[in-house]
Structure 1
Amino acid sequence: MSIDVNNESGWEVDEHLVLDVARHALARMRIHPLSELSVIFVDADAMEQLHIQWMDEPGPTDVLSFPMDELRPGKEDEEPPQGLLGDIVLCPEVAKKQGDAAGHTMDDELHLLTVHGVLHLLGYDHAEPEEEREMFGLQQEILHSWRAQRAAQDD
């Protein structure tokens, strides 16, 4: 899996763990190992500009996803297609505020937002209650399995 990570935010971010959780999410969703993903960290001003440009909403947001080849999760009995998954744009400043409000670290929030962004790239949404349950349930499942895998590696 080719994943490019660029930190243009000015914030210190554990890029290795973001890369690891993204790889885990993509493997869990059966995305072809030769597919490509880009993760970019930006400051609040840059995120606000993107938020206005693409969502027509003011203020910075936590994560934006820009799908490219509209890849979908692979099925157990089929070879998944290869392609450009797209871009995930994250704002550490917003993640820090949200993490503080939720009682966890900025890094934990960035891991959650990375998985959230991956799911959006794969066509998941949370506009309707049923979609929200499915997407957030899958998001929690992926994060839980990633954390369990990391804990087992640390032992």
Structure 2
Amino acid sequence: MSIDVLNETDHVVDEAEFVEISRYVLAQMRVHPQAELCIRFVDEATMTVLHEQWMDLAGPTDVMSFPMDELRPGREGEAPLEGVLGDIVLCPSVAERQAATAGHAPIEEMLLLTTHGILHLLGYDHAEPEEEREMFELQRQLLLTFLAGRGRESGA
């Protein structure tokens, strides 16, 4: 699995940790082991431009996903498709503010956002209440099991 992490900010980012959560989520979702993913950390100015350009919404946001080959989660007994999953763009400064509001660590917020972004790349959405329940429960379970496997406690 090819996972690139690009930090274009002044924030310190443990690239290995984001590769690790990505590998975990992709494995749990039965994504082909040769799939490609890129995670970019950007500043608020860059995120604002992307948010306005692609979503027509003002200001920065926490995470955006840009799917490429429209890969979907694999199913048991079915060979997963190989290809480029896409890009996730995260804004650490927005994530830090959200973490403070939610009462958990910034790293946990960014791991949550990474999981959220991967699910979007795999076709999950939260526009409708039922979709939101499904996606948010799945991301919660993925993050909690990842953190539990590392012996970490989470407030997420």
Q: List runs of 5+ in structure 2 lacking aligned partners.
A: none
Identity of aligned pairs, percent?
60
Q: State the Cα distance separating 1:93 from its structure 2 match.
A: 0.3
Matched, 1:56 2:50: no
TM-score, normalised by the number of residues in structure 1? 0.96
Q: State the Cα distance separating 1:62 from its structure 2 match.
A: 0.2
Q: Deviations over 1:64-123 (max 9, x none)?
A: 000000000000111101000000000000000000100111111000000000000000
Aligned residue runs from structure 1 range 54-133, under 5 A: 54-133=54-133
Tell me which amino acid in the other structure corresponds to 1:123: G
In structure 2, the partner of 1:2 is 2
The runs of at least 4 aligned residues of structure 1 exceeding 2 Å deviation read none
In structure 1, the partner of 2:44 is 44
Tell me which amino acid in the other structure corresponds to 2:88: I
Q: Deviations over 1:45-64 (max 9, x none)?
A: 00000000000000000000
Tell me which amino acid in the other structure corresponds to 2:50: L
Q: How many Å separate the matches in 2 of 1:60 and 1:127? A: 19
Q: How many Å separate the matches in 2 of 1:9 and 1:128? A: 33
Q: State the Cα distance separating 1:16 from its structure 2 match.
A: 1.4
Q: List runs of 5+ in structure 1 lacking aligned partners.
A: none
In structure 1, the partner of 2:138 is 138
How well do the aligned residues superpose, as a CA RMSD in angstroms?
A: 0.9
Tell me which amino acid in the other structure corresponds to 2:49: Q
Q: How many residues align?
A: 152
